[in-house]
Amino acid sequence: MTPIRRVLVIYVGGTIGMERNENNVYAPSPNKLLQKLKFHSQMHDQVLAKKFIGELGYNQLVLPEIGNEVVLYELKEYNPLLDSSNMCSKDWIRIANDIGKNYDKFDGFVILHGTDTLAYTSSALSFMLEGLQKPVILTGSQIPIFETRSDAKDNILSSLILAGCYKIPEVCIFFANKLLRGNRTAKISSIHLNAFDSPNYQPLAEVGIDIKVNKHFILQPTSPFQVHTKLNSNVGLLSFFPTITPCMFRAILQCPSVEGLVLQSYGVGNIPSNRTELLQVIEEAVRRETVIVNITQCPQGTVSATYETGKALEKIGVISGHDMTAEAALTKLCYVLGIPGLTYEQRVLLMKENIRGELTNNNNIY
């Protein structure tokens, strides 16, 4: 008997489903993506659907046969469609809840999402979906599917196959033939089709003539599945620059609503240690139990207290973010600060710990 794999596609919005409007700029096109997919021979096979499924729901489609498996997928479109630049933590919660409500009905999930904040959403979901045992794959495109030349179809098709036919129990990003861990990925280009990279971790799968799954890089669940929806959005991100002043720093850290901050320092975690007023502002915030995490500004690498200028942060209680991306560090802060009942010390320990594969812990790093 041919196994039928079920995938839920959550269409959040983004370039992938946009069309040019009367002003010749891209804008969301509600209720059009489903019809586009239905009339695309590589995205829907009516003959196969009748043979194995019978009557389909209005939002259900079947991929052409893949080996010995049939992928039946269902499209859930958000109303209104969201530009990813407008998204925030409440939207992450909505997506996580939709996955939770449908978790037992499907073998995998694909989320169609705008590229600008896709890495933030994937990182957030990785922390919110504990004990995940099924693939959750986020994808999008640099060119809309309605254009003659587009990367959308290949990204959707490969995501559906990976979500339906492979056991990859992680939140991932698929883009340009690579499946990347969601909380290890950042957008690296606004103009190239290869728009995302995971500079500190290997791809989980690579799609070429064959699909190569790198099983030894994939995390396996160690706890039952549960959805965490308590996030604390009172967090920020600040990058060091040569002309920064204590006044600028103080304006952020003395804001009453700021409970956590990601610092992006130079190189392997260095800051201007000869500017004692800056260090004093940071130290005062740590004493007020503001959770402060240090990561590197560099796309690749980690922070390390091997220089005097980096050791200064360790001494005043700033947490090492190891090799986390900015997206992972920020969303992890949202998650950790949202866990009820923890002490400051417990939150600090959680930020140092590798809880979803988001960092590489090294004893030489503070």
Low-confidence ranges of the chain (pLDDT < 70): 309, 362-366
Question: What are the residue numbers of the active site?
Answer: 15, 115
Place of tokens 């259900």: 60
Residues 264, 208 share a domain: no
Strand 260-265 and strand 235-239: the pairing is: parallel
Would you state the pLDDT for residue 125? 98
Query: Annotation-wise, does 139 bind a ligand?
Result: no
181 forms beta bridges with 172
Would you say residue 364 lies in a domain? Answer: no
What global pTM score does this model have? 0.96
Would you say residue 133 lies in a domain? Answer: yes
Query: Annotation-wise, does 116 bind a ligand?
Result: yes
Among the three residues 202, 227, 252, which one is the final residue of a domain in this structure? 227
Q: How far apart are CA 267 and CA 111, in angstroms?
A: 34
Residues 245, 190 share a domain: no
List the one residue out of 198, 192, 149 whose CA is nearest residue 178.
198
Which structural domain range is residue 339 located in? Answer: 235-352
Would you say residue 109 lies in a domain? Answer: yes
- CA distances to 159, 219, 225 from 130, rounded to whole Å, are 21, 12, 6
Would you state the pLDDT for residue 147? 94
Query: Annotation-wise, does 151 bind a ligand?
Result: no
Would you say residue 221 lies in a domain? Answer: yes
Would you state the pLDDT for residue 364? 47
DSSP 66: B
